Chain A
Amino acid sequence: MAVFVFAAQMLNFPVGVGVSGHLLGGALAAVLAGPWVATLAVTVVLIVQALVFADGGLTALGTNVLLMAVVGVWVGWAVFVAVRALLPRTTAMVPVAAAVAALVSVPATAAVFTGLFAIGGEAPVDLGTMLSLMLGWHAVIGIGEAIITFLAVSAVIATRPDLVRGAAPALDRAREERLAAACTTASEGVA
C-alpha cells in the first residue's frame, strides 16, 4: 500500500509548480485503504522521502506528517463519509464522493498550514493575504486532485471493487440485493 502512495506521488502534475505541486494523495489513500492504513502509509512515505530521497526536509517532517498524513487523510475521509451518506449507496457514487473529498482536503490542508504559520511563522505576513493566496493556489490543485482521484477510484472500482475500502457499504448492499433476489427466485421455484 505504501508503495502505491509513493508511486502515485511520483505522478507529478503536468501543471504548474506551486508551493506544493505534488499530488497530496491523502484523500485517495483514505478512500482506497481506510483512514488508519492511509495515515500510516503516508507517514512512512514522508519519512522515507525525507531520509532516503532528501525530499521534503528533515525539520519539516513533523509539519508534513501533520498536514498530509493527519489533516489530508482525515479531512478527506470525513468529507468522503459525509458525502457518501448523502448519495445513493451504489459503487458508481463512490468515485464522486472521493472526488469531493479530494477537492475539500487540499485547501483544508493549506488552511491548516496557514494556521500553523500564524502560530509559529517568523515573518509578519498579512494572514488574510496569505490565506487567500494559499487557498487560491490549492483550490486549483484541489480541482486537479479531484479529477485524478475520481478517475483513479473509478479505474479500481471497475476491476476490483473489493479493494476499495470506501466502497464496502455499497458492495454490502449489492450483495444483500443479490441474495434477496436469489431467495425470491428460489421461493418462486419452490412454489
Chain B
Amino acid sequence: MSGPHGHSLHFHGHSPIHRLPPEVKIAAALTFVAAVVATPREAVWAFGLHLLALVVVIAVAQVPAGFLARRMVIEVPFVVLAVTMPFISTGPTRPLGPFEVSVAGLWAGWALFAKGSLGALTALALAATTEAPDVVRGLARLRLPAQIVLIMSFMIRYLDVVSTELRRMRIARESRGHAVRGIRAWPVLASTAGALFVRSYERGERVHLAMLSRGFQGRVDLGEGGSAGGRDWLAAALPLTGAAIAATAWLSGAGR
C-alpha cells in the first residue's frame, strides 16, 4: 500500500554510484548542474558532451533508460515554455518552416530546453540512486539547519502514511459513486483537503506527545553511515568534467 508518488523514483541497485555517500552525490549533482547552466548557449556541442558525461554515470549506475525516460515527463511544462519563446520574443526574425520566429527567442528557447533537460536528468539520476532518507542524511552532513532537516525527515517518514490516507479517502469517495469530473468535483476535493489537514495535524499531535513521553528533546539521531572517504570523492569526476566542458566552451567562444 504505497501512494502513487511514494518512492517511485528510486531504482534499487548496488552499483558504485548507489553505494556513494549521499552528501557526495548531492554536492556532485549541484555542481554539475551549475556547470551546465554556466555553459554558453551558443556552444551546442558542449551540451552534447554534458549529456554524454551524464549518460556514462547513468550507465555505471545501471539505471535503465526507459525508467528515466518515463519520469522525464515532469519536464513537459518547461518544454512548452521553451517552444513558445521563439514566438513571443521580439527582435530580428528568421523563417522556420511556415513561421517567422525571433532569432533571440530561438536561442533562449534552446537554452531553456537544453539546460532544463540536463538539470532534470541530473536530479532524476540522483533520486534514482539515493533513497529519500539518505538524501536527508546527506543534507544534514552538508550542514543544512537542524530545524529544516527535522521537518524534512518527518515529512519523508510520514509521506507514505499521508498518501495512503489520501488514497483511502479517494477509495471511500469512489465507492460512494463520486467521480472527479470538472469544476463540480471541487467542493468534494476541497473538503478532502480540509479533512486531510485536520487528520494530519491530529496525527502530528499524537506523534509529538508519544515522542515527548519517550524523552524526545528536539533532536533526532539520523544514524551514522561511514562518512565520505578519499575514494568517494572520485564522484567529483562528473562535476569536474562538466566544469571543463563549460570552460572550454567559454574559451572557444572568446577566441571566435
Contact = CB atoms under 8 A, between A and B. Distances in A.
B120 A44 contact: no
Interface string B112-139: 0001100110111011000010010001
Given A58-B30, A156-B197, A2 B124 contact: no
Contacts of B242: none
B89 A53 contact: no
Interface residues of B, number: 72
B74 interface: yes
Nearest to B78: A57
Contact of B77 (A18, A126, A158): A18
Contact of A125 (B77, B89, B166, B204): B89
B241 interface: no
Interface string A51-62: 111110111100
Contacts of A116: none
A54 B151 contact: no
- Interface of B, secondary structure class, is helix
A48 B148 CA distance: 11
A155 B119 contact: no
A7 B197 CA distance: 9
Contact of A3 (B108, B159, B180): B159
Closest 10 CB pairs of A and B: A155-B194, A151-B190, A123-B108, A54-B123, A155-B191, A156-B194, A152-B190, A2-B155, A152-B193, A54-B124
Interface of B: 5, 9, 26, 29-30, 33-34, 37, 41, 71, 74, 76-78, 80-81, 85, 88-91, 102, 104-105, 107-109, 111, 115-116, 119-120, 122-124, 126-127, 132, 135, 139, 147-148, 151-152, 154-156, 158-159, 162-163, 166, 180-183, 185-187, 189-198, 200-201, 204
